[in-house]
Structure 1
Amino acid sequence: MIEVRKFADLGKSNHGWLDANFHFSFAEYFRQDRLHWGALRVWNDDKIAAKSGFPPHPHENMEIITYVLEGAISHRDSLGNEGRTKAGDIQVMSAGTGITHAEYNLEDEQTHSFQIWILPDRQGHAPSWGTREFPRGERAGRFEVLASGREGDDDALTIHANARVLGATVAAGESVTYELGGRKGYLVPARGKIEIDGQVAETRDGVAIADVDVLTVKALEDAELVMVETA
């Protein structure tokens, strides 16, 4: 099953400093048929104005991954962690038993990011935060594991979930494959136009995937892909 969810049909919320687009039910946006996709609970496509952001607020029992597309995000939390994650890289926060954090765009330009929430494998993990550089050029023509709760993914940031967050860049006319093995996938082209099994998805569309053993994605334009694989 391949279902393309057009960007224009996503939930919308514009606060001036924040232009948010919701792939799944979130805040005031509710759709019964878009509550989650396996353990994937939230995928927000956020544009944050320069010199603005989210003041301190709490989370618990959620794996929160931020993939920065443009600009940078600066993080500070109640554990004493501080850091800046720039375009192409990701940060992971395991909220666990509870954490308070702030996320600001301290840059002179707009920041564009995907914020992805994944349900943990159990409640009560110790909270943590981390960030890592993942050069876009090193994932050309293949999916690179950026964050994972699966054994063997030692080069990825750790999440407490039976899931992976992956990224790939694909040149126009080329294809990239990934073995889903029947697990669920949710894929968003951060840029570019792609084709999956005859269906076309454009920049910032979502593609819900199920019951597929080997996923093949063809780039109709130079493309940057972000995907969550989950049970």
Structure 2
Amino acid sequence: MIEKRPFTSLGHANHGWLNARHHFSFGDYRDPARMGWGALRVWNDDEIGAQSGFPTHPHRDMEIVTYVRQGAITHRDSMGNEGHTLAGDVQVMSAGTGIQHSEYNLGDQETRLFQIWIEPKENGGMPRWDAKQFPKGDRAGSLEVLASGFNADLEQGALWIRADARLSGATLTSGTEIEHEIAEGYRGYLVVSEGRLRVNGVDLDARDAAAIADEPSLSIEALDDTEFLLAEVPAATH
């Protein structure tokens, strides 16, 4: 089963400095049919205005992955971490027993990013933050794991999250195709960052999503030069 979720169908909240689209219920947006997808709880498509951002606020018991699509984001937290994550790169935060942080676009142009929340395999644990550069050229024509809770992925350079899940990314040139298998008991959630894709015969435009269940293999074809992310998460939550 592949359910296409067009960008135009997402929840929308425009706060002036923040223009947000919500793939799942978040904030004032509520849709009983879109409360999450397995262990995937949040996927926000955020546009953050210049010299603005999220002031200090708390989180706990959630794995939060931020993928910057354009511009940069500056992170500061109550653990003393500070980082500046650029377009194409990734930051992860394990909220654990509790952490406070802020995220700001300190530049003069709009920042665009995906913020993704995945439920941890168990609650608690020491909060932590990390970030890493992921040059897009390194994932041309194939999926590269960006964040994961699996040792094999960590050995290949993925950022660690406290979840039996992974987030991967790829760039494809128009007309190319890749195959990918999804493990039994897992669901996929694919979001197109740029360009157009065809996934098992379902066409997706830029910023559209595909909610994937009971599909052991994916055939992903680029209809344009494209970039996309794929989350693989347990179908059942703890």
Normalised by the shorter chain, which TM-score bucket? Answer: over 0.9
Task: Tell me, yes or no, if structure 1 residue 196 matches structure 2 residue 209.
Answer: no
Match of 1:177 in 2: 179
SS in 1 for 2:163: coil
Preserved CA contact (<8 Å) 1:17 1:48: yes
User: What do the CA deviations read for 1:54-96 (whole angstroms, capped 9, x no partner)?
Assistant: 0000000000000000000000000000010000000000000
Match of 1:210 in 2: 213
Structure 2 distance, partners of 1:100, 1:106, is 19
Superposed displacement of residue 32, structure 1:
0.8
SS in 1 for 2:124: coil
Match of 1:149 in 2: 149
Task: Tell me, yes or no, if structure 1 residue 158 matches structure 2 residue 170.
Answer: no
Match of 1:89 in 2: 89
Q: Superposed, which structure 2 residues align to 1:20-35 within 5 Å?
A: 20-35=20-35
Match of 1:219 among 218, 222, 235: 222
Superposed displacement of residue 169, structure 1:
0.4
> Structure 1 vs Structure 2: percent identity of aligned residues?
55
Backbone CA RMSD of aligned residues: 0.7
Structure 1 distance, partners of 2:199, 2:79, is 42
Superposed displacement of residue 181, structure 1:
2.5
Superposed displacement of residue 150, structure 1:
1.3
Amino acid at match of 1:156: A
Match of 1:168 in 2: 170
Match of 1:62 in 2: 62
- Which ranges of structure 1 fall in alignment gaps of 5 or more residues? none
Structure 2 distance, partners of 1:111, 1:181, is 34
Amino acid at match of 2:172: V
- Which ranges of structure 2 fall in alignment gaps of 5 or more residues? none
Aligned length: 231
Superposed displacement of residue 196, structure 1:
1.2
